[in-house]
Structure formats: C-alpha cells, structure tokens
Amino acid sequence: MAMPAALRALTVLYVLAVLAGNQVEGRHHQPDCPSFSCGLLGNISSPFRRASDPPGCGYRSCELVCSDTKATIRIGGATYYVSSINYSNSSFWVVDADLDLHNSCPLPRWNPPYPHDNMEVELDPLVDTRACFVECSQEVKGTGMYMPVACLSTNDSFVYVLTGLRSTYMEYLQPSCGYLAVTPRPWDGPALENASYADVVKSMRSGFAVLFPLRAYREGIKRCVRRGIRKFHEWPVSGRSIKDWIVGILLVEGDFADCIFDVTGFPYYVGYERVTILITMWIVTLTADLCRFLLAPLAVLIFLAHKYWKTRIRIDAIGKFLQMQQMLGPTRYAYTDITAVTSHFRDKLGQGGYGSVFKGVISPGNVHVAVKMLDCNSNCNGEDFISEVSTIGRIHHINVVRLVGFCPEEMRQALVYEYMPQGSLDKYIFSAEKNFSWDKLNEIALGIARGIDYLHQGCDMQILHFDIKPHNILLDNNFIPKVADFGLAKLYPRDISFVPSRALRGTIGYIAPEMISRSFGVISSKSDVYSFGMLLLEMAGGRRNADPNAANSSQAYYPAWVYDRLTQQDHVGEISNHVDAEMHELERKLCIVGLWCIQMKSHDRPTMSAAIEMLEGSADTLQMPSRPFFCDEGHVHTDDTYRLSSELTEISEDMSENIDV
C-alpha cells in the first residue's frame, strides 16, 4: 500500500529534525578550543595544543611548549623548534634544538626513518634524501662520495659526510667505516650531491618537515562505527522494509558524521565519501544478521585462524623489526642464498647450544664468512635472532665481530658473520703449550676490554653482553680479539645505572653474583666487568678458575690461590703452570686487574674504562684489592669451594626456570 503524501512529508521532516538535533548535540559537547599563539607563530589550532588546554583539544603528541620567541615540541624523545605550520598539507617544519648556532662543528642526532604505522607524528615521507655521517678507522681515498669532516676527525678515526642519493646504500659503505648519525634533508631544498660539510650543516639548521598525526584518528573512527551499528539496531523498524533500511541508515549516517567531527575536529572529514560509508554500514549490518546462522562455521574459522596466528607470531615480530633495519644494517639473504654461500652446508665448523656453524664464501670478492644456522623449534619466538641483529648489527668496532648478513625465513633463520680463522680464545689459553707471550696476552686482554667498553659507552644505547667468556672471544688472522655471540645481549639507555632483573642468564663460572642475589648489588654494566675479570684470571693462569683435579687442594679455586700468592712477600714461582721462574710483570698485572674486576659487590668493581687504564699502566702502580668473598679467612678448602660452586649452580638453575633472555 502506497504511503500518503502527507505522511511522507511528516517522515522527511522528522528525519531532518533528528539529524539537526544530532548535529546541535554534537557541537554542544565539542570542547572550546580557541586558536592560540606560541612563540612567533600565531593562529595555531588542532592537532596542536598547550599543556593548559582542556582534554579533547589537540593531541598529546603535538603538545607545544611556548616561550617569547620559540615554540618547541618533543618527537621521539628529542626536542625540536617548530618554525612554521602548514595546515593545507597537514605538516609542520622543525629544527633540531640541539644544533647550537655557535658550534661551528656540530654532529646531528641519530634520525632513523620512522615506521609507517606510527600513530604519532612522523617524518614527512617526501624526505627521501638524508645526510649520513660515518666514522672510519682508515682514511678513505679515491671516491667523491666521502666528504671529510676535519673538525670531527682524529689521528685514529676519520669522519666523513655522504649526501648523494646512494649515501644510505650499504653497498657503498667502506669496510672500515660505520654509521655515526643520519639526518633528513628538506625534499624541496637545493641538491646536495657530494656536498661539503658546511653545506650539510646549513641544511641541517634549516630543518625538515613532519606530518600531522592523521593516523591517530583510526581508533576514534572505529568507535564511531561501533556506535553507529548500535544505534542502527536500536532504530525501531517493523518488517525491515527498504524504506525502513534507508531511514535507519540516514539517521546512523548523520550521527556517524557528528562523531567523526568530534574525533577529528576537521570539517572536511564530515560526510567524506558518504556513499562508501552507507554501503559499508549496510554490509556490516547485514553481515551481523547473517552471522546468526553461521556461528558454527565461524567458530571453526576462528579456531583455524588462531592456530595460524600462533605459527606466524614469531615471523610477524621479526618482520616488524626488519622494517627498522632496511635502510642501515646487515644484508638480508634468502635461504637459497645461504645454501649457495655454504655450498649446501658442506664445511661444518662446529656445533653450539644455539645451532650449527658452517663456513661459506660470498661472491663477488670471495669473502669468507661463518654462517650460524639457528636451531628453532615450536617454542622459538625469534627473540634471540632479534637480539643478535639489533645489537651486533649496528656495531662497527675492531674488537667486536661484524655481522655481515642474516636470513629471517621461518624455521631457517641464519646469522652470517665475518670468518675468524684462528677460532676462539679458549683453545689457546687452556692448551698445554704456551701459545702467547705475556706481551701478546696483555694485548689481547686490552682488545677485549676495549670491545666491551665500546658496547657499554660507544653506542647510542648501552649494550650489555651478559656472556663474556673465552669461548665467546674470537681471533682473526692477526690474533686480534673480537667479542662475539650476542644471543643474551640486551639494549638499555646509556643514562641508566642499573637494568631490570627479569630475563637474565649467563654461564656458571662467569656470571656475576648480583645476577643470582640482589644482596650483591644491582645488575648493570659491572656484571660484564665481573665476567671479564674471570676471563683475565684464566688467561693469566692458563687454566679454568675452578679445577677439582688440581694437584694441590689449595689451588682448586684459582682466584683464591692467586690472591694468596700475590699477597705473600716471596713471589717465588710463576703463577701459571708453564714456567717455573720469577713472576712476570704483565702476568702480575693481569691477575691484579682480574681480582679487582671480580669483587663480590658490584660497586667495588671498576668500570671497563678504568680497567683499560689499569691494563695500559704499570703493574707497580696497581694496589691490591680487598680479598674476594669466596676466599676470605685464608685458604679455601676444595670441599668448601665446590660445595659453594654447587650451591651457585643450583641457584642459577632455579632462576633459569623463572627468567629467560
């Protein structure tokens, strides 16, 4: 039966009245957010806000701090000056606040590319050119890309700036070089192909563009959609005729537009692509009704999706991490590449707790590498893989093993390192033959100390290794030591003095006491110092620190025995078992520094920088430290020593059930 004309008119008026009422109600709840001035900028509105503005005005990620002449904003933990705002293209211009105008030789902060799913402010995607600062251990000659920065260079390191379009390509990075900083350049600025340092500084001080956080509206729009669906179900329709559907959709659409305006604050979002919104609302509502008859198949699909998600979660975590490594970092290889590099895993170098190691050759150049294939079962979540790549992947130091590349494929994860032909340190210091002179041992100890100190202080984030031991020190052709195996390593800000106690483990005999009991102090970089001290004592003695088969029971625990020998008046007999002669000065120095490093209380140990100074100095200037906890009250009997060692092992095993790296 056709609807009378009068009734149709009343229906239209009713719909318009409801829509108008919704619009007025929506505006009534909109907070009063007047425009404001900040520094030299005027007429500022959303998404920017001040700390004093009421909730709902602007976004916390765009909060400005105002002074008489400056407007500042925090992005990614750093402070920037806002020099201009462009509402037409939803961007604003920022300048690094740390760039001192009076400093003639500034070094920019590290500005990596922001992920595209960032819900806060992000770098303008048009910024596709960057200036890269690199530090090289050898002078680079014969290439126009590397422009020297004399004021930042020293006799031992050379700093260059690269500004060409290929400046961020890893294939153009010299082998002796590593990245110091990367800063974006204005996309519409003058071309700086192979520009000088002065031109780059001028470009840095002009700033770069940053986008408004438009993606932050995503959750608000989802809330509006859910509210619209709820209101549509509440709309009284009899029989669900086409007319009822249209009226309900129109009312929901008006409320949805009101909600979008409240969320975004931008009028051009209201009614945007309304046809698409109406169709989407119709499809969503229809699907909700149809699901009443599809619950059983839907439950099966949810179960299958859950099983699939569990198998993919590790790869998803690695995939997100790899987005941060695409521009700067090691080379990513496919599993087929790994197979070709290792000649189908023909030459096996060894087997460890985390997988097998194979020798390989990368072409061109015939570069020899060591490929570690990680053992990954169903309980593997990719954390050890991410830990290795995120730590060692950003390090370029002569005493840290270099990560050449990686393969992230599911159940076939591999890490590609530079090949160390001389193997690990343990096979030399525990050998029956004396392989190294005392001068060489001291040189190796210094190299290890410098590598660990670089991990603690030489990077943007301090890296704690947590597994320093002879097996994890590799030697190249010239017996230069390199710290390796970062499976237990963790990244922490450099300004913190201790780290959380969760997720920590190590190797018995080298693990610091505070990692077992907090009564010995907090876990910090001093935990690596303890492990290094145990390593020094084993290098000096040419034996394990704990040896139940020692000929003399007083020598079973080496640190206690060597402490007694050093404090005796007659230093007859070399400490090591190799030569029966007067104690060598360098041997005595290694022992004293090692005893300083293994003090039970973490605050009594030196830093790695202080340990380097002690190793570089003379043994005569070193004072004997306090007697370590394990060797107080005279000699330590063998039974007592190994009872204590057994107790520590049991404690560590109990803790390993509760903590995991």
Q: Which of 393, 418, 443 is the last residue of a domain?
A: 418
Candidate list 124, 255, 467, 528, residue with the active-site label: 467
In-domain check, residue 232: yes
- 414 and 445 co-located in one domain: no
In sequence order, what are the residues at sequence separation of 6 or more whose Cβ sits closer than 8 angstroms to the Cβ of residue 248? 232, 235, 237
In-domain check, residue 195: no
Specify the higher pLDDT residue, 168 or 149. 149
In-domain check, residue 272: yes
- Considering only CA atoms, which of 266, 373, 269, 391 is closest in space to residue 321? 391
pLDDT of residue 352: 67
- 455 and 388 co-located in one domain: no
In-domain check, residue 622: yes
Which of 167-181, 263-277, 517-531 comes out lowest in average pLDDT? 263-277
- 463 and 557 co-located in one domain: yes
- 450 and 335 co-located in one domain: no
Specify the higher pLDDT residue, 415 or 324. 415
Q: How many independent structural domains does the chain possess?
A: 3
Contacts 24+ apart (CB under 8 A), 591-594: 591/536, 591/537, 591/540, 591/541, 591/562, 591/566, 592/566, 592/619, 592/622, 592/624, 592/625, 593/445, 593/533, 593/536, 593/622, 594/533, 594/534, 594/535, 594/536, 594/537, 594/540, 594/559
- 241 and 389 co-located in one domain: no
Mean pLDDT of 253-264: 71
Mean pLDDT of 175-182: 86
Which of 177-181, 216-220, 411-415, 583-587 comes out lowest in average pLDDT? 216-220
- 470 and 410 co-located in one domain: no
Grade residue 554 by pLDDT with cuts at 50, 70 and 90: low
Mean pLDDT of 638-659: 40
* 65, 107, 110, 167, 190 from 204: Cα distances, Å: 22, 10, 12, 16, 12
Which of 140-149, 152-161, 379-388, 430-439 comes out lowest in average pLDDT? 379-388
- 257 and 382 co-located in one domain: no
Instruction: Tell me: pLDDT of 535 over 90.
Output: yes
Instruction: Tell me: pLDDT of 479 over 70.
Output: yes
Grade residue 608 by pLDDT with cuts at 50, 70 and 90: very high
Instruction: Tell me: pLDDT of 446 over 90.
Output: yes
High-pLDDT (> 90) share of the chain, %: 21
Q: Which of 252, 279, 306 is the last residue of a domain?
A: 279
**Six token digits for residue 499:** 């780290």
Grade residue 433 by pLDDT with cuts at 50, 70 and 90: confident
356 forms beta bridges with 351, 373
- 411 and 464 co-located in one domain: no
Specify the higher pLDDT residue, 168 or 24. 168
| 547 part of the active site | no
pLDDT of residue 247: 61
Specify the higher pLDDT residue, 341 or 101. 341
Instruction: Tell me: pLDDT of 649 over 70.
Output: no
Which of 158-162, 293-297, 305-309 comes out lowest in average pLDDT? 293-297
In-domain check, residue 450: yes
Most confident of the ranges 24-28, 405-409, 653-657 = 405-409
Q: Which of 257, 279, 301 is the last residue of a domain?
A: 279
- 409 and 447 co-located in one domain: no
In-domain check, residue 509: yes
- 391 and 344 co-located in one domain: yes
Q: CATH number of the domain that 610 lies in?
A: 1.10.510.10
Grade residue 589 by pLDDT with cuts at 50, 70 and 90: very high
pLDDT of residue 299: 77
In sequence order, what are the residues at sequence separation of 6 or more whose Cβ sits closer than 8 angstroms to the Cβ of residue 144? 194
Mean pLDDT of 508-527: 87
Most confident of the ranges 153-162, 167-176, 227-236, 553-562 = 153-162
**Six token digits for residue 192:** 């700086």
Instruction: Tell me: pLDDT of 35 over 50.
Output: yes
Grade residue 390 by pLDDT with cuts at 50, 70 and 90: confident
Specify the higher pLDDT residue, 282 or 595. 595
Specify the higher pLDDT residue, 76 or 438. 438
pLDDT of residue 625: 92
- CA triplet 552, 553, 554: central angle to 5 degrees? 90
**For 92-112, what is each residue's pLDDT tens digit?**
888 888 777 777 788 887 765
Q: How far is CA 575 from the centre of its chain?
A: 43
Specify the higher pLDDT residue, 15 or 36. 36
Instruction: Tell me: pLDDT of 644 over 50.
Output: no
- 548 and 643 co-located in one domain: yes
Instruction: Tell me: pLDDT of 266 over 60.
Output: no
- 412 and 557 co-located in one domain: no
Q: CATH number of the domain that 414 lies in?
A: 3.30.200.20
Q: What is the dihedral of CA 546, 550, 553, 557, to 10 degrees?
A: -20
Specify the higher pLDDT residue, 330 or 240. 330
Q: How far is CA 126 from the centre of its chain?
A: 25
pLDDT of residue 3: 41
Q: CA 656, CA 661: separation in Å to the nearest integer?
A: 9
pLDDT of residue 142: 75
In-domain check, residue 358: yes
At residue 634, what is the residue type? G
Most confident of the ranges 163-167, 350-354, 373-377 = 373-377
pLDDT of residue 298: 75
Grade residue 209 by pLDDT with cuts at 50, 70 and 90: confident
Q: CA 256, CA 231: separation in Å to the nearest integer?
A: 10
Instruction: Tell me: pLDDT of 434 over 50.
Output: yes
Q: CA 227, CA 259: separation in Å to the nearest integer?
A: 9
In sequence order, what are the residues at sequence separation of 6 or more whose Cβ sits closer than 8 angstroms to the Cβ of residue 486? 387, 388, 391, 392, 463, 465
Residue span of the structural domain in which 378 resides: 321-418
In-domain check, residue 196: no
Q: CA 495, CA 553: separation in Å to the nearest integer?
A: 45
pLDDT of residue 111: 65
Strands (E) across 97-176 are located at: 122-123, 130-136, 147-148, 158-162
pLDDT of residue 526: 92
Residue with tokens 């608000």: 220
**In whole numbers, what is the pLDDT of the chain averaged over residues?**
75
Grade residue 481 by pLDDT with cuts at 50, 70 and 90: very high
Does the annotation list 222 as a binding residue? no
Mean pLDDT of 74-95: 84
Specify the higher pLDDT residue, 323 or 437. 437
